[in-house]
């Protein structure tokens, strides 16, 4: 055996690593962001750094639960986070995880859509902690050609029946169905399909919804909150229960790839969950001043319009709407018509006990037990 000591190789690397983590602290100010995957425009962060000199550091998640676990553990090290307002933001405010905003540093705040602000006041009195970021719905991503081939050319695709009618789901099984790995979303969809209150916590309603999900379970390929984006775009999935912007991004990717995959986003006629994602500053944020600077930057109409163009989610800033590309502004999947809006489901925050019950049912459904 040749004489070789791995330490000789490793130690210098360790030192270089340590030095590089220490050095930039003095060199420049940073703001640590924790956001959903694919949730900024391509140049959002670059422009912010050019404008303010603050270097943004971005980490990604695809699931509210992951963000919430980090916030509850404490000392997450993040300055700005992007939770979904209901039920997550509401619960996190109750647990005291966010610091109140200094509104004098957020000049664009009063321009935001009063209806959205009023709706957020229900869970955040005086809009003290949360700033609306983007609005989306949860619907169905459909590979039109494959679904029509399986169900017939006249089959309706704007309905939850595609997931919950066992006969239809069985026909789609081989080409692939995915459901969001989120108990609240899945139960809301099943309850809407059954024609019941999507916020119902009555045991009988939940039993019925669980049965619908269990029946559908046999035909479902996986439960995941982001994998469907690429699978839908590649033609590896036929039907995905997912977030509007994610499905519309899959549609764009499929168009760019030009491999003959056509993805369509459908808001089911029985009703779909309307979600508001918000911006907030954790209580223990290391750099709240930079966090405020970043939120103020997101409140600029041109910035948020650019983000909407890129990620295909509507924003809550009416001043930005004229700056949004016409194709995006007139897309009913992004800016839905009034008739569709009437059917939107606004989730209520379950109590801890209800959440536990919901999650236990969800684990059983997923495990098919």
Partner 1 sequence: MHKLLAKLRLRDRHLARLVNIGAPYLWLGLFFLLPFAIVLHISLAETALAQPPYTSLWEWVDDGILQIRLNLQNFSTVFHDELYLAAFLNSLGVALVGTVLCLLIGYPMAYAIATAPERWRVVLLMLIILPFWTSFLIRVYAWISILKPNGLLNHLLMGLGVIDAPLTLLHTQTAIYIGVVYSYLPFMILPLYANLTRLDFSLLEAAADLGCRPFKAFLKVTLPLSLPGLVAGSMLVFIPVVGEFVIPDLLGGPDNLMIGNMLWTEFFGNKDWPLAAALTLSLLGLLVAPFVLMQRLERRIEGEPS
> By C-beta, is 211 or 283 nearer to partner 1?
283
Q: Tell the smallest beta-carbon distance from residue 352 to partner 1 (Å).
A: 6
Q: Tell the smallest beta-carbon distance from residue 224 to partner 1 (Å).
A: 9
Nearest to 129 by CA among 102, 91, 95: 102
Q: Tell the smallest beta-carbon distance from residue 72 to partner 1 (Å).
A: 5
Query: Could you tell me how far CA 134 lies from the centroid of its own chain?
Result: 9
Q: Tell the smallest beta-carbon distance from residue 359 to partner 1 (Å).
A: 5
Q: Tell the smallest beta-carbon distance from residue 66 to partner 1 (Å).
A: 6
> By C-beta, is 26 or 369 nearer to partner 1?
369
d(CA 253, CA 232): 9
> By C-beta, is 51 or 94 nearer to partner 1?
94
d(CA 209, CA 225): 20
Q: Tell the smallest beta-carbon distance from residue 368 to partner 1 (Å).
A: 5
> By C-beta, is 65 or 113 nearer to partner 1?
65
* Partners of 140 in beta bridges: 241, 266
Residue ranges binding partner 1 (CB under 8 A): 63, 65-66, 68-69, 71-74, 91, 94-97, 174, 176, 183, 220-223, 231, 234-236, 283, 352, 355-356, 359-360, 362-364, 366-369
DSSP secondary structure string for all residues of 158-197: SSTHHHH-HHHHHHHGGG-EEE-S-HHHHHHHHHHHTTS-
> By C-beta, is 222 or 344 nearer to partner 1?
222
Q: Tell the smallest beta-carbon distance from residue 178 to partner 1 (Å).
A: 10
170 and 219 Cβ atoms separated by less than 8 Å? yes
d(CA 204, CA 207): 5
Q: Is 255 helix (H, G, I), strand (E, B) or coil?
A: helix
Instruction: State the Cα angle at 136 between 182 and 261, rounded to 5°.
Output: 85
> By C-beta, is 231 or 300 nearer to partner 1?
231
In this structure, what token pair is assigned to residue 283? 């209580």
Place of tokens 């709407």: 321
> By C-beta, is 238 or 345 nearer to partner 1?
238
Q: How far is CA 221 from CA 109, 190, 199, 272, in A?
A: 43, 17, 26, 22
């Amino acid at each position: 055996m040749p004489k070789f000591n791995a330490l000789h190789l490793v130690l210098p690397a360790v030192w270089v690593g340590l030095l590089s983590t220490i050095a930039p602290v003095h060199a420049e100010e940073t703001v640590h962001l924790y956001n959903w995957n694919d949730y900024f425009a391509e140049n959002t962060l670059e422009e912010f750094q050019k404008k303010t000199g603050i270097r943004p550091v971005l980490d990604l998640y695809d699931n509210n639960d992951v963000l919430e676990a980090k916030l509850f553990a404490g000392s997450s090290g993040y300055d700005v986070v992007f939770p979904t307002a209901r039920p997550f933001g509401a619960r996190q405010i109750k647990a005291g995880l966010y610091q109140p905003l200094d509104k004098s540093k957020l000049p664009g705040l009063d321009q935001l859509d009063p209806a959205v602000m009023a709706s957020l006041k229900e869970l955040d009195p005086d809009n003290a902690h949360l700033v609306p970021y983007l609005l989306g719905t949860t619907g169905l991503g459909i590979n039109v050609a494959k679904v029509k081939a399986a169900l017939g050319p006249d089959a309706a695709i704007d309905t939850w029946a595609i997931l919950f009618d066992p006969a239809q789901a069985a026909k789609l099984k081989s080409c692939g169905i995915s459901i969001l790995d989120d108990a609240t979303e899945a139960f809301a969809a099943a309850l809407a399909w059954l024609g019941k209150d999507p916020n119902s916590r009555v045991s009988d309603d939940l039993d019925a919804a669980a049965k619908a999900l269990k029946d559908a379970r046999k035909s479902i390929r996986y439960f995941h909150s982001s994998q469907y984006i690429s699978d839908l775009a590649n033609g590896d999935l036929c039907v995905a229960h997912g977030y509007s912007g994610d499905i519309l991004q899959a549609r764009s990717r499929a168009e760019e790839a030009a491999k003959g995959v056509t993805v369509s986003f459908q808001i089911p006629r029985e009703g779909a969950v309307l979600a508001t994602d918000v911006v907030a500053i954790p209580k223990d944020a290391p750099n709240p001043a930079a966090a405020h600077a970043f939120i103020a930057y997101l409140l600029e109409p041109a910035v948020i319009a650019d983000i909407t163009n890129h990620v295909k989610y509507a924003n809550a800033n009416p001043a930005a709407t004229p700056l949004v590309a016409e194709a995006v502004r007139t897309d009913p999947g992004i800016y839905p018509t009034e008739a569709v809006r009437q059917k939107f489901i606004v989730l209520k925050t379950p109590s801890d006990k209800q959440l536990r019950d919901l999650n236990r049912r969800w684990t059983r459904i997923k495990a098919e037990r």
